[in-house]
Amino acid sequence: MNENKKSSVVKAVLIGLGAVVAFVIANIGAMFVLLRKNVKKMKGNESQNNAVHSIGLGKGTVALSPDTNNAYLSCLNGRLDITFTEAPTHDVNMDLTCICGKVNVTVPASMRVISDLKPCSGKVDVACETPDDENAPALRLTGKTCLGKVVVRK
């Protein structure tokens, strides 16, 4: 290979590496912005019918009671398993933030799932059959995942 071709290849590799580094830095910045917003949103929402839980660098389990109205949950570089102790008889709002981690949500068979989760370089996998009763209680999912994964199953 002559010197011109070698320098062109080196330039192309350096440009590619620069693009990858810029992408990673942008995603890390987005993760911290999401985490900060979620912490602000969670503060002051603790009450008898609201569930607030955050896990970082580890594994956690949250069992939601049937009288939970709202759940504010976040997972940073860990794994969070969310279940219900019993099927609720009313709609439940769940706000999730998953950054570099995995969140598994197990939904009672009698509930509908309405998902508005937004992935940002992450994955959202909601595979739930809708119950025949369209008036059944709904689990409304909102939030974001960045370099993480949210799985919702019945």
CB contact at 8 A, 114 and 88 = no
pLDDT value, residue 16: 82
Check residue 48 and give its pLDDT.
Answer: 56
Alpha-carbon dihedral 67, 72, 77, 82, rounded to 10 degrees: 20
State whether the Cα torsion 16-32-64-117 is positive or negative: negative
pTM higher than the cut 0.85 = no
The structural domain count of the chain equals: 1
* CA–CA dist 131, 114 (Å, integer): 12
Arithmetic mean of pLDDT, 53-75: 80
Q: Which domain holds residue 97?
A: 3-153
CA 63, CA 70: separation in Å to the nearest integer?
13
